[in-house]
Amino acid sequence: MAPYSKALNTHLYAKVVCPTGTTATFKTKFRAEIDSFNAGE
């Protein structure tokens, strides 16, 4: 969950670095979870 900045009226984001050998399937599912959260679902 990204922290919210009231002054900027936005969430603050961080880059996630996956370990070597992380599967494309995991990355796709992880991205879908982030997109779902960002959409407010």
Domains of the chain, by residue range, sit at 14-41
Each residue's pLDDT tens digit, 17-36? 888 999 999 989 988 887 78
**How far is the C-alpha of 28 from the C-alpha of 3, rounded, in Å?**
23
User: Residue 8: is its pLDDT beyond 80?
Assistant: no
Q: What is the pLDDT of residue 2?
A: 65
